[in-house]
Amino acid sequence: MILVRPRNPLNMGAAARAMANFGFQHLAVVAPYAPHWREARSAVGAPELLRDAKEAASLPEALVDCTLVVGTGTLTYRKAEQQVVQLPALAPLVERELARGGRIAMVFGPENHGLSRDDLSYCHVLVEIPTDVHQPSMNLGQAVAVCLYELSSRAFSALDELPVAQAAAEGSKSSTFRPPGPAVPSGALELLSGLIEETMSAAGYSPRSMQAANRHDLRLLVRRLGLNPADTRRVLGLFRRILWRLKRPSGRRDESE
C-alpha cells in the first residue's frame, strides 16, 4: 500500500490498522505532510506497521520494484488515461500478477484531491470504488479498508486454488503449474521512458514547451505496451544506440557503417 502526500496522521493510522485487519504488511508513504505521522494513535493494533513503513520522497522512488501499479480514485472529476476497472473486477488482475511472481502496489492520493494526473501516469490501471453518485469520494482510511477487504476476500482466497486449477487445465501437457513470465518493474519502465525522452530531445522532436506533456505520455505508453524484461532490454539498447549516434560530432563516421 502506498499513500501519496497524506495530510492527516489519523487517516494514516487508520490505513495501517486496516492493513493489519486483512493481513497486509508493506506500507510506503510518499512525502507526508505531518512530520510525526509514525506516532498516529489511530493505528490501533498496528503501531509497528506504521513505525516500519518506508518513507519515499517521490512516487517513482516508492514504485521502483513494483510490476503492477494500481491507482485509486473517482472518475467524477477526471478523464481516465489508462484502463479503468471497478474494484470487484480487480481480483483477476492481482491473481495473474501474483502467479507470475510480480509485486503489486495500490496507490492512494491525498485527502483533499486524490491522485494527480501526474501521479496516475505511473499507474497501469485505475480502480474505482463503486459509490453513490451524490457522494463519490471516501475518507482515506475507509478507502484503504474497502480495497483490502475486496482483495483479501476475492483475490487471495482464490489464489491458493490457482496452481491446481491451471495444472488440471493443462491435462496431459504438463503435471506442473508454470506461471507466465515475469513483468517489468516500474523502475525499469521509468528508465526506458526517460531514455526515450532524452532521445527525442536530442533529435529536436518537439519544442521545450512540450517536454512535460511528452514525458507524461511516454509514462503511460510504456506501461500500455506490456513489455517483458527481454523486450525492455532490447528497446533500451536500441534507444541508447540512437542517442549515441545523435550526440556524435557531425561528420564523424563509425567504421562499421
Half-sphere exposure of 95 (CA within 13 A, CB side): 20
pLDDT of residue 168: 39
Q: In what order do the strands lie in the sheet with 125-128?
A: 54-56, 28-30, 2-4, 104-108, 68-72, 125-128, 83-86
Arithmetic mean of pLDDT, 170-185: 53
The pLDDT tens digits for 116-156 are: 999 999 999 999 988 888 888 889 999 999 999 999 887 66
In angstroms, the CA 49 to CA 42 distance is 12
| Phi and psi, residue 241, nearest 5° | -65, -45
Evaluate if residue 32 carries a pLDDT over 80.
yes
pLDDT of residue 179: 43
Determine whether 27 is exposed, middle or buried from the number of CB atoms within 10 Å of its CB (0-12, 13-18, 19+).
Answer: buried
**For all residues of the chain together, what is the average pLDDT?**
86
Residue-range domains of the chain with CATH? 2-168 (3.40.1280.10), 186-247 (no CATH)
pLDDT of residue 157: 57
pLDDT of residue 180: 52
pLDDT of residue 84: 93
